A and B are shown apart, each in its own frame.
Chain A
């Protein structure tokens, strides 16, 4: 009450008070406070929708970037409502080969192109007919086409590819090589979704290498399957419900080979936004020496 009257009638005193409160309560929030406020706010999304963050770096020791990334997010016409649609691809061209960057780039463009052509009418018109092929068939055809293109146009080269096609609440993953897809959960769990097609993983699976021996295996970068390599190509293709709550992480070995899984999940859960998470992951890989190109994409299905 007294304050109120002073405010109304008092002259000098009133002017002094804001000064005091200025120091005490309106000091700018620290970065930490801001981020904790942001983190504590759960943004509300009414409809299911996809959000994505992407990060890339050439690393500290390479001159060229041979990684490629593609991220497309939209919605698609469903029978009664629009549903989330997204295509996310990470590809890592084979280092020693001449056309490493050509291979990874071709992979994302051919796969992206074929998938988008299939879904073109659902994205840009109102089709009356449903798609003839299943999502897994579309993915398989696209990867095979990319494989043949690379063999033809950039012979001798190869690339990994890990592609995630999100439709509704399903994610269909096509995978060749040693880039990885993970499901990241808010409680810090990081579940690998893909199996590396690498020599070291194979030896580990056969029981010839222990986990520790595998960590220090000299030929960790030798792939046993890659796009553009070999006569026939069998891609791993599977569909799972999109991790919810949580996110889908796609990355090249420039990240997972350098930053351990515990740190990866911590960086993602601690970051206020997906973009920041991607940046922080790239920084962490570079801080650890950045021996290889780094590519990261994180996708969330919210709402």
Chain B
């Protein structure tokens, strides 16, 4: 009976009515000296779910969901069972790792109450999405959620040592986050399934398959409940208001004529009365949905149905400097460091954008700072490498070159490496500030060196690409047709770098042989980034490209309104990149689908930095911005 209460839909009056609100924690209360309660985000039979701020991260706003369970059972045995169930949920969640399952951070008990601290999901549940939408949700959108749900069910079902049956798939347990992706919540009754064991009857009427009412719950029950959830989502007919197992009497295409025959067939297969006639597992259902998506082209044209994405993105904070920001920030210990063309390096509090200190140089700063050992290293057009204490903002030492410096420093193995307009690559001792060696090239160096496997890789404005060893002697050299301003990256013994000649090169790290060349529409000074088997880069033709790293084939390209000089950043499953059109874009990294964009007032040439769900970047509109990722 108690577990039954947990599963009742959030907001229903079942069991919560008058007792729960009275006992709710008030905003401002801090639990275990750590979780500062901000708001109630849900009410269940056993207690409330709160949004709270984790005060262990004073410098950033880290939000968590705190799920409360109030133990009011008078019977000590029942009380004990409730606590055990709670701890089971906590322990089960702690072992799971999937993008569609919230991460668990902590759990604890306090008097009669137990608390579970979880990842906070920005977004709303699918039931609200259905109710708040006028008319039907587009099929493409539902198919893409369905694919993600199959993926997470397949993950749970393949859990070792025992498969986990979710047992309570329904729209109110599916959150749609701010990126339009699904997250499965409420593992209150997810149970590792021991084959042959009869479970107790749990589940939400209307979504549960017939066999679950006989006490049997297998993976096929989740397949059925997913079918029921999809049926509800695409037809807007709530199965809880209909007789049980009556889906066949409400054919999807009779209610919503826009649904494809293929998708209807998938849902019908999942909803077969007899478990043996459903998809044999969630993977098979996912494959079938993928086929639907391929036929209808759903994967390429999905646009989020959520107003969160299309409505304007509001910055968390912004900070105004006195001139253009063309470079990239660095983040360290809650502080954001960024150089500006007003000649200053700024240190800001990353949590709220509060000014900490600024350090003036005698030239514009485009170089990206790097923090090492409580010092921040950066270069300036005043021909110097500056080293400044991160706390004090006071100079530790500086190092002169014979030309302006646009390259960013790289710190590795006790040395700092950077290039200069004086055509030298400089290696400087990180403590003494003395030159260890210089390597003379045939052109100014704007590219930021890559240090890997005791080698240093960088390009020059004359189109040469050099590989040096740690002693500063040449290992190999590669020639592009025009300048290499882009900074190289490495994966699997290969170096990737772009040139103004309009080519993205893959070079063997040991020998410099060209493995492949990918033609961009125009030249590029953007630096590539790699995630999984994809490489992302911007180009002057205004596109952000995603290229398969093995085959050098284009996966997708996304058009912005002007040149892309910014280098992309990948965080979780999004790619972030600025454009000279003034916008910062957030794209789904496998498909290039737009998640959101933020318009600043003038070109964004620097690159974003993403940390703890916050994107930081500067714009030539003189502002530094922080946005929710």
A134 to B504, CA, bound (A): 12
Chain B residues 544-580 with CB under 8 Å of chain A are 548, 550-552
- 4 smallest CB-CB distances across A and B, nearest first, come from A79-B476, A134-B514, A238-B550, A241-B492
* A174 nearest CB across to chain B (Å): 11
Chain A residue contacts of B513, Cβ below 8 A: 130-131, 135, 167-168, 170
B492, B517, B550, B551: the one contacting A134 at CB < 8 Å is B517
The answer to whether B514 and A131 have CB atoms under 8 Å apart is: yes
14 further A-B pairs in the complex, CB-CB below 8 A; given A135-B514, A168-B510, A239-B494: A78-B510, A79-B512, A80-B476, A130-B478, A130-B479, A134-B515, A167-B508, A169-B493, A170-B508, A207-B287, A207-B291, A238-B550, A239-B516, A239-B550
B385 sits at the interface (CB 8 A): no
Interface residues of B in 498-555 (CB under 8 A from A): 505-506, 508-517, 548, 550-552
Binding site for A on B (CB under 8 A): 287-288, 291, 474-479, 492-494, 505-506, 508-517, 548, 550-552
Instruction: Using A134-B514, A135-B513, A167-B513 as known contacts, say yes or no to A240 and B479 having CB atoms under 8 A apart.
Output: no
Give the distance to chain A from B554, nearest Cβ to Cβ, in Å: 14
Residues of A within 8 A of B515 (CB): 134-136, 170, 172, 239
Interface residues on A, range: 20 to 34
Q: Give the residues in chain A near B476, CB-CB below 8 Å.
A: 78-80
Q: How far is the CA of A136 from the CA of B287 in the complex (A)?
A: 32
Given A78-B476, A207-B291: A240 and B511 interface contact (C-beta under 8 Å): no
Cα-based distance from A241 to B478 in the complex (angstroms)? 20
CA distance A100 to B213 in the complex (A): 63
Which chain A positions have C-beta within 8 A of B512?
A: 78-79, 130
- The interface bits of chain A over 167-197 (1 if a CB of B lies within 8 angstroms of the residue's CB, else 0) are 1111010000000000000000000000000
- B548 surroundings in chain A (CB, below 8 A): 238
Instruction: Provide the bound-state CA to CA distance between A83 and B493, in Å.
Output: 14
A237: CB under 8 A from chain B?
yes
- Bound CA span A239–B495, Å: 13
The distance from the CB of A132 to the nearest CB of chain B, in whole angstroms, is 9
* A238 to B475 alpha-carbon distance, docked (Å): 26
Docked pose: A83 CA to B511 CA in angstroms: 7
In Å, the complex CA distance between A168 and B515 comes to: 11
Name the distance in Å between A181's Cβ and chain B's nearest Cβ: 12
**A133 CA to B514 CA, complexed, in Å:** 7
Chain A interface residues toward B at CB < 8 A? 78-80, 83, 130-131, 133-137, 167-170, 172, 206-207, 236-241
Central interface residue in A80, A136, A170, by most chain B CB within 10 Å: A170
CB distance from A205 to the nearest CB of B (A): 10
In whole Å, how far is B474's beta carbon from the nearest beta carbon of chain A? Answer: 7
- CB pair B516–A80 under 8 Å, yes or no, is no
Q: Are A169 and B550 in contact (CB under 8 A)?
A: no
Chain A nearest CB from B398 CB (Å) reads 34
Q: Which residues of A contact B508 (CB under 8 A)?
A: 167-170
Would you call A169 and B551 a contact (CB within 8 A)? Answer: no
Which residues in B have their C-beta under 8 angstroms from that of A83?
Answer: 510-511
Could you say which residues of chain B place their CB within 8 Å of the CB of A239?
494, 506, 515-516, 550, 552
Residues of B within 8 A of A169 (CB): 493, 508-510
Compute how far the CA of A207 lies from the CA of B506 in the bound complex, rounded to whole angstroms: 35
* Residues A168 and B517 in contact, CB atoms below 8 Å apart: no
Q: List 16 A-B contacts (CB under 8 A).
A: A78-B510, A131-B513, A134-B505, A136-B515, A167-B508, A168-B508, A168-B511, A169-B508, A170-B494, A170-B515, A238-B550, A238-B551, A238-B552, A239-B516, A241-B493, A241-B494
Query: Given A79-B476, A237-B551 in contact, is the A137-B510 Cβ separation under 8 Å?
Result: no
- Shortest Cβ distance from residue A295 to the other chain B in the assembled complex, whole angstroms: 25
> Which residues does chain B contribute within 8 Å of A130, judged by CB atoms?
478-479, 512-514
Query: If A137-B517, A239-B506, A241-B493 touch, does A78 touch B511 (CB 8 Å cutoff)?
Result: yes
Q: B494 to chain A: which residues have CB within 8 Å?
A: 170, 239, 241
Q: Which residue in chain A gives the minimum CB-CB distance to B508?
A: A168
Residues of chain B lying within 8 A (CB to CB) of residue A168:
493, 508-511, 513
Q: How far is the CA of A239 from the CA of B511 in the complex (A)?
A: 15
Tell me, in angstroms, the Cα distance from A207 to B551 when the chains sit together: 25
CB distance from A248 to the nearest CB of B (A): 15
B511 engages A79 (CB within 8 Å): yes
Residues of A within 8 A of B550 (CB): 238-240
Q: Is the CB of B291 within 8 A of A80?
A: no
The CA of A92 and the CA of B69, in the complex, are separated in Å by 67
Cross-chain contact B493 with A207 (CB below 8 angstroms) = no
Knowing A79-B477, A130-B478, A130-B479, the reply to whether A170 touches B551 (Cβ < 8 A) is no
- How many Å lie between the Cα of A140 and that of B270 in the bound state? 45
A206 to B512, CA, bound (A): 40
In whole Å, how far is A232's beta carbon from the nearest beta carbon of chain B? Answer: 16
B493 and A79 contacting across the interface, CB-CB below 8 Å: no
State A167–B510 Cα separation when bound (angstroms): 10
Write out the residue numbers on chain B whose beta carbons fall within 8 Å of the beta carbon of A136: 515-517, 552
Provided the pairs A238-B551, A239-B515, A240-B492 are in contact, do residues A79 and B475 lie with their beta carbons within 8 angstroms? yes
Q: Count chain A CB atoms within 10 A of each CB in B291, B476, B550 and give the residue with the most.
A: B550
Per the bound structure, the CA–CA distance linking A135 and B476 in Å amounts to: 17
The distance from the CB of B355 to the nearest CB of chain A, in whole angstroms, is 46
Q: Are B516 and A135 in contact (CB under 8 A)?
A: yes
A236 contacts which chain B residues (CB < 8 A)? 551
Which residue on chain B has the smallest CB distance to residue A139? B516
How far in angstroms is the closest Cβ of chain A from B352? 44
Distance in Å: Cβ of A209 to nearest Cβ of chain B: 12
Chain A residues with Cβ under 8 A from B479's Cβ?
130
Which residue of A is nearest B291, CB measured?
A207
Closest to B503 in A: A134
On whether the beta carbons of B493 and A206 are closer than 8 Å, the reply is: no
Distance to closest chain A CB from B32 (angstroms): 44
| In the complex, chain A residues whose CB is within 8 Å of the CB of B514 | 130-131, 133-135
**B493 to chain A: which residues have CB within 8 Å?**
168-170, 241
Query: Which partner residue on chain B sits nearest A129 by CB separation?
Result: B479
Q: What residue in chain B is nearest A83 (Cβ atoms)? A: B511
In whole angstroms, how far apart are the Cα atoms of A241 and B517 in the complex? 17
The smallest beta-carbon distance between A32 and chain B, in angstroms, is 36
Shortest CB–CB separation between residue B198 and chain A, in angstroms?
31
List the B side residues contacting A135 at CB < 8 Å: 513-516
Closest chain B residue to A193, Cβ basis: B550
The complex places the Cα of A78 from the Cα of B510 at a distance, in Å, of 9
**In whole angstroms, what is the CA distance A80 to B475 when docked?**
6
| Residue contact A167 to B511, C-beta cutoff 8 Å | yes
Contact at B510–A207, with CB atoms within 8 Å?
no
Which residues of B lie under 8 Å from residue A80 when comparing CB positions? 474-476
- Docked-complex contact B288 and A207, CB < 8 angstroms: yes
* Distance A257 CA – B517 CA, assembled complex (angstroms): 35
Q: How close is B58's CB to chain A, nearest CB, in angstroms?
A: 43
Q: Complex Cα distance A79/B466, Å?
A: 11
Give the complex CA separation of A92 and B619 in angstroms.
58
- With a CB–CB cut-off of 8 A, which chain B residues contact A170? 493-494, 508, 513, 515
The chain B residue sitting closest to A79, CB to CB, is B476
- How far apart are B264's CB and chain A's nearest CB, in angstroms? 17
Residue of B nearest to A78 (CB): B511
CB distance from A126 to the nearest CB of B (A): 14
Residues on A with C-beta less than 8 A from B287 are 207
Alpha-carbon distance between A136 and B506 when the two chains are bound, in angstroms: 10
